Amino acid sequence: MLYPNLISKRIILASKSPRRLELVRGLEIEPEVIVRDIDESYPTSIMGAAVAEYVTRAKASAFTDILGVNDVIITGDTVVLLDDEILEKPSNNEEATFMLRKLSGRSHLVASGVAVTTLRDGNPETSCEVDTCEVTFEELTDDMISHYIEAYKPFDKAGSYGVQDLIGFIGVSSIHGSFYTVMGLPVHILHRMLQEI
C-alpha cells in the first residue's frame, strides 16, 4: 500500500473538477468528493502564482466545518498567466476565443496550488504549495480554436483550455514542468504531503 498512514483516514476531495478527481485516483486513492459553491475572488493586491495559493487556501477554509479527526481534505486551484495577466475561466465562446488567440504562438505560465487540511490538536491545519510550469503553444488557427471550443466547451477551465484535450495534442509544443500541474493538480507534491501526514 502506497499510504499505510492513511488507512484509517477519510480522504475528501473538495473539488468540482473531474480532472482533479482523475489525478487523485492516479495516486491509487478513492476520495469522497464534496462540492460547495465557493467564492474564488481574491484581493487585487495578490498577483501571479500567489493567486493559486490564496484561492486554494480559501477553498480549504470553506470545508473546515466538516473536518473530523480522521479526515484529510484536499483542495486545489489553477491559474493561467500571460504577461502577468490572469486568464480566468471563460464565460462564453467569445471570451474563450479571445483567450486562445492570445495564447497562440506564445509561452505562458500555469500555476496550480494544492492544499491538504487535517486536524492537529483540535484545530484545522493546512499545508499548501504551488507548482508552476511554462507552456508554449503552436500557432492556433481560427478553425482549430472554433472547433476546440465547440467540441470541448472549455468553460470550466482557466485559460480556456485543458492540456489533456485535443488542444493539448495539436497545440502545445512544449511544457517545462509537470504535465499534471498544467492539468490542474501537482500530484508529485500531493504525494509527498500525504506521505507526511
The enclosing domain of 76 has a CATH number of 3.90.950.10
Choice among 65, 77, 131, 143 that is catalytic? 77
Residue pLDDT, tens place only, 86-118? 999 999 999 999 999 999 999 999 999 999 999
Q: Is 84 left (phi over 0), alpha (psi -120 to 50) or beta?
A: left
Q: The whole model's pTM is what?
A: 0.94
For 187, the domain range is: 4-195
CB 144 within 8 A of CB 88: no
Task: Could you list the beta-strand ranges (E) of 97-166.
Answer: 107-120, 123-137
Tally the domains of the chain. 1
Mean pLDDT of 135-140: 98
Residue 128 has pLDDT above 90, yes or no: yes
Q: Is 83 a catalytic residue?
A: no
Name the percent of the chain lying above pLDDT 70.
100
Q: How confident is the model at residue 78 (pLDDT cuts 50, 70, 90)?
A: very high
- What per-residue confidence (pLDDT) applies to 1? 79
Query: Is residue 67 predicted with pLDDT exceeding 90?
Result: yes
Distance CA 90, CA 94 (A): 8
Overall average pLDDT of the 118-135 stretch:
97
Res. 195: pLDDT tops 90: yes
Mean pLDDT taken over the chain: 97
| Predicted confidence (pLDDT) at residue 151 exceeds the cutoff of 90 | yes
